[in-house]
Amino acid sequence: MSSQNIYILGIESSCDDTAASVIHNGKILSNVVASQKIHEEFGGVVPELASRAHQQNIVPVVHQALEKANISKEQLHAIAFTRGPGLMGSLLVGTSFAKSLAYGLNIPLVDVNHMQAHILAHFIDEEGFDKPPFPFLAMTISGGHTQIVRVDNYFNMSVIGETIDDAVGEAFDKSGKILGLGYPAGPEIDKRAQLGNPKAYQFTKPRVDGLNFSFSGLKTAILYFIQREVKANPNFIKENLNDICASIQYTIIGILIDKLKLATKQTDIKHIAIGGGVSANSGIRQALKDGEQKFGWTTYVPKFEFTTDNAAMIAIVGYLKYLEGDFAEQSVMASARLKI
């Protein structure tokens, strides 16, 4: 990468995390995230509450990011922000803030696609983490996204598969809700799955053509299964929770791995990079490692703080676009359904 001395501030506010990060060339100097606890009470993100919390958090979060990076705002070369996709009310807070700050400092503004950023997070300079070579396949799996993307270059990528209904993180969270677990349920299902038998119960996998995914049918199948079993034994969930979690996780991972197998076959690309909160899952990490042995894959998982929603990934895209001179106008608008 360039030997110039470039400082960029990245701002992320697409969903329920208000985040800011300073990058110096390709290296992250600070990565601050204010996660909104308020949504836990509601079992999911409440858009109206999310935008209000962004409004409260954005100034202190940006302030902290600059402070931790030990630079002043006058040293910044550009402001990068998430333009979309995401919740409109949330995006507007980060977008307006970034535009005003860039205007006030008289420096370039860089708009960033959140889904591209999840993928390009792999290009942050970080010791112990290899960068995938082009072309590679990226699978972004979180509470809001499930996509397989063919990446030919930093800015040349195409979605080759995506969910037609729920995201994979939602499959974890909604299953958890059925089982009476707190929100988000993914981490607890993962923990319990490690203590249970993944083959205790079978759930049929959805049949979706090609590389697309569907998770809503699985959620319904789990709901009916639990209702039936609880009718026969009111303590069914309590007595078998680890086995139920293990079986659900096993099914979900099977769905993801089947599609990855198909994608590698169709594209003949065996480098696979994953991102998004669900990439923390121990089962998916193991399945990817197994894929290295079984199918000759090389897999890449970024540092955890760069894989959930964060601003470091926005800052790295900001840096890469800055090097290209690819800036946004002040008239740029947030876009809730922005595509890759």
Peptide bond into 135 cis (omega under 30): yes
278 binds, among ligand KG4, Zn ion, none (CB under 5 to 8 A by kind): ligand KG4
Q: Which of residues 245-284 bind ligand KG4 (CB under 6 A)?
A: 276-278, 280-281
Closest CA to 22 of 77, 92, 97: 77
Q: How far apart (Å, rounded) are the C-alpha atoms in residues 33 and 62? A: 10
Q: With contacts defined by CB under 5 A, name the span among 138-146, 198-206, 299-307, 312-320 that binds Zn ion.
A: 138-146
Least Å distance between CB 313 and Zn ion?
9
Query: Which residue in the set 94, 184, 196, 302 belongs to the binding site for ligand KG4 (CB under 6 A)?
Result: 184
Q: How far apart (Å, rounded) are the C-alpha atoms in residues 253 and 305? A: 22
Q: Can residue 12 be called a binding residue for ligand KG4 (CB under 6 A)? A: no
**In the complex, residue closest to ligand KG4 by CB:** 277
184 binds, among Zn ion, ligand KG4, none (CB under 5 to 8 A by kind): ligand KG4
Q: How far apart (Å, rounded) are the C-alpha atoms in residues 340 and 338? A: 7
Q: Can residue 65 be called a binding residue for ligand KG4 (CB under 6 A)? A: no
Binding mask 302-321 for Zn ion (x = CB under 5 A): -------x------------
Binding mask 91-130 for ligand KG4 (x = CB under 6 A): ----------------------------------------
Report the first-to-last Cα separation within the chain, whole angstroms: 24
Query: Which residue in the set 142, 146, 240, 264 belongs to the binding site for ligand KG4 (CB under 6 A)?
Result: 142
Q: How far apart (Å, rounded) are the C-alpha atoms in residues 277 and 142? A: 5
Closest CA to 92 of 65, 60, 52, 64: 52
Q: Which of residues 307-326 bind ligand KG4 (CB under 6 A)?
A: 308-309
Which DSSP category does 9 fall into?
A: E
Query: Which residue in the set 85, 94, 108, 144 belongs to the binding site for ligand KG4 (CB under 6 A)?
Result: 144
Q: How far apart (Å, rounded) are the C-alpha atoms in residues 74 and 81? A: 18
Least Å distance between CB 328 and Zn ion?
20
Least Å distance between CB 310 and Zn ion?
9
Q: Which residue has the tokens 């799996």?
A: 141
Least Å distance between CB 115 and Zn ion?
7
Q: Can residue 166 be called a binding residue for ligand KG4 (CB under 6 A)? A: no
The helix/strand/coil state of 68 is helix
Least Å distance between CB 176 and ligand KG4?
7
Least Å distance between CB 18 and ligand KG4?
13
Least Å distance between CB 340 and Zn ion?
13
Closest CA to 172 of 16, 282, 19: 282
Name the token pair of 143.
């509470």
> Taking the CB of residue 227, how many other CB atoms lie within 10 A of it?
10
Least Å distance between CB 187 and ligand KG4?
4
> Taking the CB of residue 70, how many other CB atoms lie within 10 A of it?
10
Binding mask 190-219 for ligand KG4 (x = CB under 6 A): x-----------------------------
φ/ψ of 146, rounded to 5, equals: -150, 105
- Beta strand pairing call for 156-162 and 146-153: antiparallel
Q: How far apart (Å, rounded) are the C-alpha atoms in residues 15 and 244? A: 30
Closest CA to 301 of 1, 22, 292, 35: 292
Are 101 and 73 spatial neighbours (Cβ–Cβ below 8 Å)?
yes
Closer by beta carbon to ligand KG4, 101 or else 181 = 181
Q: Can residue 172 be called a binding residue for ligand KG4 (CB under 6 A)? A: yes
Interacting residues toward Zn ion by CB under 5 A: 142, 309
Positions that interact with ligand KG4 (CB under 6 A):
15, 142-144, 169, 172-173, 184-187, 190, 276-278, 280-281, 308-309
